[in-house]
Structure 1
Amino acid sequence: MFQVLATIWALLIGIVLIMLGNGMHFTLIGLRGGIEGFTAGELAVVTSSYFVGFLSGARFAPVLIRRVGHVRVFAALGSFMSAGLIALTLLAEPWAWTILRVILGFCMSGIYVTAESWLNNAATNETRGKVLSAYMIAQTLGIIGAQGLLTLGDAGTATLFIGASILVSISFAPILLSISPAPVIEVAKPMSLKQLFISSPLGVVGTFLLGGLYATQSGMGAVFGTQVGMSANLISLFIAMLFGGVLVLQYPFGWLSDRMDRRKLIFGAAVLGGAACLLGWLYGADRRALMVAAFLAGGVTTPLYALFLAYTNDYLSTEEMPAASGGLVFTFGLGAIAGPLITGYAMQVFGPYAFWLVLAVTSGRSRCTRFTAWRSAR
């Protein structure tokens, strides 16, 4: 395991840095948009445009990797992303931000595809779970750290945007300066979504459902907190608990996934997440129960992505992994678009605690999918 990490440490450092910048930008969009007087509808369009670019990047990144290789794609997309973050301060208009968010989403999903195919290439079936767990922990550290960095400046100025841009700019320096080997360009070959589904229906369907869970938790969590009357500090704690659970549970799940049938572990993690969502729905009025629910529900979501990614790549050749990563990121993005829309409608009709109910139902559907796939594969 340490030998594997020795070959990917530079990539993991780069991921932490780029997630610091991206995490800052996500929060800054809402803060600065309010200062500039953007309406809720305009901010909704700006927010959604990120996922339009996200889906496009997931489909085109494997093509770029086949042409020029992992390192150049990572560096090029990071450069465009850094420029886009600074450009947000140059023209604070909804139409301009919409275009820039498309570009930022394209770059970020391409970076995900590049990093994940690189990591899968470096790992074996026996180490893949732990390697991808380290990758998810790096992402989470960046997201949590970004929230702390936001307290160092004023969203009404360009300072924080420049800081985010700097972090993204230096994120690929460890990779470019490292002597660690990167995958060769020739290892990538195309794979359609249909081929990916045939290879791993569990991975594709599960990743789609997981995208809805993740986007609902991260995007609608603050909305839920506001509607049930939480203070700003309590909402921050609630969101922190959603991500804090990842830091505790990610590596144990990765360790277990290399020692047992991944399908069984996926099923168990989904059961735990569904139970946590039911706890939030039934006892959410108790703040302690609410925080426990957030810790467990958020704590299994990111590990499940790593499990799906590892499980899918167990059945693929090295040449198919970049395109497969792109397909899974694309599928995740589709779920991420659908999840908040469904949850928002449910909360409007049934009240704020429908937030937990939708999460529980989605987890229940994913458990059925995982159990059916496990039974059919036996």
Structure 2
Amino acid sequence: MKQVIASAWAILLGLMLLQVGNSLQGSLMGVRGALEGFNTLELSLIASAYFVGFLGGSRLAPRMIRRVGHVRVFAALGSFISAVLILYPVLTNPYAWMALRVILGFSLSGVYVTAESWLNNASSNDTRGQALSAYMLVQMVGLVLGQGLLNFGDPSGFVLFIIPSVLVSLSFAPILLAVQPTPSFEETRPMSLGTLYKKSPLGFVGMILLGFVFSAQFGMASVYGTQAGMSVREISFLVSGFFVGGILFQYPIGWLSDRMDRRVLIFFIAAFGAVSALIGVFFDDVFELVLLTALLTGGLAQPLYALLIAYTNDYLDPEDMAAASGGLIFINGLGAIVGPPAVGWLMGMTGPTGFWLFLTLTLAMMALYGGWRMTRRQSAYAEDDDYDAVSYAPIMPTATSVALTTAQELYAEASEEQADAQEEGSPTGAS
């Protein structure tokens, strides 16, 4: 890990600053939008617009990079981000905010793709897994720190919009001044969605449902907090709780993933997540319990992203793993687009508790579908007596196609090494 930090500290620092700014503006949208009189449906569509842009950026940014190069794409999209963040308090109209959020999501996705390419290029084959772990860690730290900054200004003023714009602008300096040589960019031909579903129905459906859950947590938590009458300080703690939970639970769940049937683990994590969200449904007037609910549901739901990818890989040949990353990103993105409007509709019908009710129902659906799939197909363990699970790779829903493809390549390498070891008759374990 020291070698990774020494060679890529500038990229990691820039990515963390970028994520701090993104985290702050994400929660600020819900708080300021309510102050401007936007209704729940409008706020949910504004949240959804970000994921529309993010999905579009993740698909178009690679083409832009191949056409004009990493540096130009990075600088151009970074300028758009800074400009959009300043325009929010000027254009206080829900439809203008939707358009700005599409631009922001597109630009941030492109910037992440570019920075992840540089980070991947700065790592060797021996350190790529450590670089991926470091990247996920700085992303989560940035998300948490951004919520703390929500307390350093008045949401009805301009300061809290200027702060993320400055942070995003500062994030470019360490990356552009200390970046490694520009890497070549090769886009993997994606696996068709039909093939991906046939390979792993649970992985396919689970990624869509998880898109619902993550976009609700990231895009609508501040809207829920505002409608529930929370202070700005309480909202910042609430949103931080989701991400702190993700950090705390990521590695314990990964440890379990390498030592038991992943399908059973998915079932129990989704079920426990649904039960945890029920705390918020019945005790939403007790902030301490609401905060505990955020910690538990975030901690259980966010690691499901990496767990579902690992489970899907259990049914893929090593040469197909990287190709599957495009499909996984796409279906998760579709779920993320649908999630906020669905939450907004339910909150409009039931009040603020609709936020927790949505998380409960979605995670329960995942658990029920996982349980049903157990009756339709044997696990990878049962299908092959010599089956040896490839280690879980920590990756969060905030990653783009480059980071996910890197994780898939690590899975493929580990799978091939295990297969070679088994052919030689040597004992193997989770690598």
Please, what TM-score do these two structures have when normalized by structure 2? 0.69
Q: Tell me the secondary structure at the aligned position of residue 188 of structure 1.
A: coil
Q: Compute the displacement of 1:94 (Å).
A: 4.7
Structure 1 segment 36-75 matched on structure 2, within 5 A: 43=43, 45-67=45-67, 73-75=73-75
Q: Compute the displacement of 1:237 (Å).
A: 3.4
| Letter of the 1:375 counterpart | Q
Identity %: 50
Report what 1:290 is aligned to.
290
Q: Tell me the secondary structure at the aligned position of residue 367 of structure 1.
A: helix
Task: Indicate whether 1:102 and 2:105 are aligned.
Answer: no
The answer to whether the 8 A contact 2:41-2:341 is kept is no
Report what 2:409 is aligned to.
none
Q: Compute the displacement of 1:53 (Å).
A: 1.8
Q: Following the alignment from structure 1 to structure 2, what is the Cα–Cα distance between the partners of residues 104 and 350?
A: 31
**1:348-372: CA deviation from partner (whole Å, max 9, x where unpaired):** 4455444333322321222344553
Report what 1:190 is aligned to.
189
Report what 2:400 is aligned to.
none
**1:233-255: CA deviation from partner (whole Å, max 9, x where unpaired):** 54443333223212322344445
The answer to whether the 8 A contact 1:4-1:123 is kept is no
The answer to whether the 8 A contact 1:65-1:188 is kept is no
Q: Following the alignment from structure 2 to structure 1, what is the Cα–Cα distance between the partners of residues 31 and 226?
A: 16
Unaligned runs of 5+ in 2: 384-431
Q: Tell me the secondary structure at the aligned position of residue 221 of structure 1.
A: helix
Unaligned runs of 5+ in 1: none
| Letter of the 1:143 counterpart | L
Call closer, same or farther: CA 1:178–1:344 in 2, change over 3 Å. Answer: same
**1:41-76: CA deviation from partner (whole Å, max 9, x where unpaired):** 665554443233223213213333454666664444
Structure with a larger share of its residues in helix: 1
Task: Indicate whether 1:25 and 2:25 are aligned.
Answer: yes
Structure 1 segment 151-230 matched on structure 2, within 5 A: 151-178=151-178, 180=180, 183-185=183-185, 187-191=186-190, 193-194=192-193, 196-197=196-197, 201-225=201-225
Call closer, same or farther: CA 1:154–1:278 in 2, change over 3 Å. Answer: closer
Q: Following the alignment from structure 1 to structure 2, what is the Cα–Cα distance between the partners of residues 3 and 201?
A: 39
The answer to whether the 8 A contact 2:26-2:219 is kept is no
Larger Cα-atom Rg: 2
Call closer, same or farther: CA 1:282–1:203 in 2, change over 3 Å. Answer: same
| Letter of the 2:187 counterpart | A
Between 17-26 and 283-292, the greater mean CA deviation after superposition:
283-292
Call closer, same or farther: CA 1:182–1:311 in 2, change over 3 Å. Answer: farther
Aligned residues: 375
Report what 1:144 is aligned to.
144
| Letter of the 1:102 counterpart | V
Task: Indicate whether 1:375 and 2:374 are aligned.
Answer: no
Q: Compute the displacement of 1:107 (Å).
A: 1.3
Q: Following the alignment from structure 1 to structure 2, what is the Cα–Cα distance between the partners of residues 351 and 42?
A: 15
Q: Compute the displacement of 1:274 (Å).
A: 2.6
Call closer, same or farther: CA 1:102–1:348 in 2, change over 3 Å. Answer: closer
What RMSD, in angstroms, separates the aligned Cα atoms of the two structures? 4.1
Call closer, same or farther: CA 1:75–1:249 in 2, change over 3 Å. Answer: farther
Q: Following the alignment from structure 1 to structure 2, what is the Cα–Cα distance between the partners of residues 223 and 38?
A: 10
The answer to whether the 8 A contact 1:274-1:360 is kept is yes
The answer to whether the 8 A contact 1:38-1:94 is kept is yes
The answer to whether the 8 A contact 1:85-1:164 is kept is yes
Structure 1 segment 320-359 matched on structure 2, within 5 A: 321=322, 325-350=325-350, 352-359=352-359
The answer to whether the 8 A contact 1:66-1:188 is kept is no
Q: Tell me the secondary structure at the aligned position of residue 140 of structure 1.
A: helix
| Letter of the 2:361 counterpart | V
Q: Following the alignment from structure 2 to structure 1, what is the Cα–Cα distance between the partners of residues 73 and 311?
A: 25
| Letter of the 2:98 counterpart | T
| Letter of the 1:141 counterpart | V
Please, what TM-score do these two structures have when normalized by structure 1? 0.77
